Amino acid sequence: MITRDDILELANKEGDHCISIYLPTHKAGEEVQQDPIRLKNLLSDAVQKLKGREVKEQQIDELLSDARDLLDKPLFWQHNDKGLALFISDDEFEYYRIPHEFKERVMVDDHFLITPLVPMITLEGTFCILALSQKKIRLLKCTRANVEEIELEESPDSLEEFLKYDVNEDHLQHHSGQGGNAQAIFHGQGGSRDTNTEEIKNYLKAIENEVTSILRKRNDPLVLAGVQEAVAEYRKVNNYSRLMDEAVLGNPDPKSDTEVKDEGWSVIKSYFLQSMYDDIERFGDLSGSDKQSDNLSQIVEAAYYGKIESLFVPIGEHSWGWFDMERDTVHHSTEPKNGEHDLINMAAIKTLTQSGNVYALDKEDMPNGSSIAAIFRYA
């Protein structure tokens, strides 16, 4: 899993021959067999680009040796995600399995192509999911791609376990309604029949005490998973400030940890994107001022001088040219030539490496429908 630090390291890398290869991949099915063929074709494209830069054939073979080795490793292709990104230079070879799709692309330059990875920065972060169930309580530590259960050492593992040690156990066993109450809360059955029982409240309080203690140390946002009645009852006893308003509704018992995580991700995604939404709104509020721009030349120049606070780039788009720092002039071209770069990628690199924010959006979601946009630190 690639992290923000990995992307920043790639962004800081410069060299004579930095090769970036992106290809969509598949987790299962017959299409998996086509993935190494796609990489082979992209490596052939890289060869032609290197020859265009007058790199000798022996050096090309040395540069691409590790990547070519992957073509003959069937097991490697059985463990991919939605995308594969390879980064090759004279002194390194790195690859990352990426949990989102991107277009096939090869770039050879004096720096790596990082714009397809920008969504990973925007959506990086951990969150927790508390799966509420009568049979099994699960606290899951999650990222977009991974999930791991956090062991609860002090809380009851289930309602049955809680009642077994509850002081009212003997009394409760003689009330036929007790089982029905649990059904009503944890399975959404039983209508309005006395579901707000003290034993259920105490069960959820016991869970909440430990969960809140753990999460206050982690400071992760928390998503609840369970039927609506169970979620509502937990909210009544909750004391954790970062509990999300939206929940994953439905009985979590039949779902695997991964399935619960994926549903939780759909809830938490907008939370991680909130800073982007705020900056999009701020870009609009600054309309007409010198603190924002959607002019590529102006933005590229500002990026080189560390002037950009927040940059918006369109997913999958590029624009060729180069920046003449001596004359503060941006030159544009219709195709990549030696000494010319993807200007959108360069603006992203310069912004990231100088502590700015970079957001990647679909072209139709870009501010003002522009090909690039930026908020400046100063006018």
Q: What token pair was written down for 120?
A: 């990973």
For residue 179, how many other CB atoms are within 10 A of its CB? 13
Beta bridge partners of residue 88, listed in sequence order: 19, 93
> CA of 152: how far to CAs of 61, 137, 157, 221, 226, in Å?
53, 9, 8, 18, 18
Pick from 150-154, 184-188, 324-328: least confident: 184-188
DSSP class of residue 83? E
Provide the residue ranges of all domains of the chain, joining segments of one domain with +: 4-117, 127-272, 274-376
Cα atoms in the Cβ-side hemisphere of radius 13 Å centred on 47: 14
pLDDT tens-digit map of 98-118: 988 889 999 999 999 999 999
- Cα of first residue to Cα of last residue in the chain, in angstroms, is 38
Domain over 127-272 is classified CATH 1.20.1250: no
Residue pair 72/13 in contact (Cβ under 8 Å)? The answer is: no
What's at 175, amino acid-wise? H
Angle (deg, nearest 10), helices 177-187 and 228-237: 100
Q: Rounded to whole angstroms, how far apart are CA atoms 180 and 203?
A: 15
pTM over 0.85: no
**CATH code, residues 274-376:** 3.30.1330.30
Q: What is the pLDDT of residues 276-296, one digit of tens each?
A: 999 999 999 999 999 999 999
Provide the mean pLDDT of the chain: 89
- Per-residue pLDDT at 188: 54
Task: Write out pLDDT tens, residues 295-322.
Answer: 999 999 999 999 999 999 999 899 999 9
How would CATH label the architecture of 4-117?
2-Layer Sandwich (3.30)
Closest listed residue to residue 227, CA positions, set 184, 268, 166: 184
Q: What's 273's DSSP letter?
A: T
Equal CATH topology for 127-272 and 274-376:
no
DSSP conformational letter for 353: T
- Predicted confidence (pLDDT) per residue in 174-232, tens digit: 333 444 455 556 665 444 444 347 778 888 999 999 999 999 998 899 999 999 989 99
Residue 171, pLDDT > 50, answer no
Task: Give the position of tokens 């990875």.
Answer: 117
Q: Which of 310, 277, 278 has its CA nearest to residue 294?
A: 310
Place of tokens 């790596």: 112
Token look-up 């790195």 returns 94
369: left (phi over 0), alpha (psi -120 to 50) or beta: left
Cα 145 from chain centroid (whole Å): 8
**Pair 125, 48: CB distance under 8 Å:** no
The identity of residue 370, as a single letter, is: S
Lowest mean pLDDT among 17-21, 137-141, 163-167, 190-194: 190-194
